[in-house]
Amino acid sequence: MEVFYDTSVIVPLLLEEDGSAEAVKLWERTTSAWAWEWAQVECEAALGRRKAGPAAWADWRALARHFRFLELSGGLAALCECNRFLGLRAADAGHVFVADRLVRVRPDCRLATFDEEMRAAAGSLGLRLAEADGF
């Protein structure tokens, strides 16, 4: 399954969190992993703030090699216009915006996020969600 990952699903792959088991199941079903390039900043910030040890940082470097990190296409004006409709926090809007652009060229790709507001926004755009136990 092709999956666009929000940071809320990447970090539990690296650090033990409530969603870690579900994130691992989803990762095991992923054939192609995508993310917005900003997820790199967010993941490193999460590791730094949680004072992750060398093993977690090594895991992050290994995991990051499996992602295709995408730039923000369409520009900030288009993102702002989209978010007037969505009403998300800034970075969340960026993740959903980039996922929406990706799905336009890779319609089988699904969004993975644990954030409920992002899940609702994805639904309003017609984006399909990735689930660990099914489509």
In this predicted model, what pLDDT tens digit does every residue of 59-102 receive, in sequence order? 999 999 999 999 998 899 999 999 999 999 999 999 999 999 99
> Strand runs (DSSP E) across the chain, as ranges?
2-5, 32-36, 67-70, 110-112
In a domain, 18, yes or no: yes
Convert the pLDDT of each residue in 9-28 to its tens digit.
999 999 999 999 999 999 99
pTM of the model: 0.95
Look at residue 112 and give its three-state secondary structure. Answer: strand
Domain annotation covers residue 100: yes
- Is 131 domain-assigned? no
Contacts of 129 (CB under 8 A, 6+ apart): 110, 111, 112, 113, 119, 122, 123
| Residue span of the structural domain in which 52 resides | 2-125
Question: Could you give the number of structural domains in the chain?
Answer: 1
> Is 110 among the domain residues?
yes
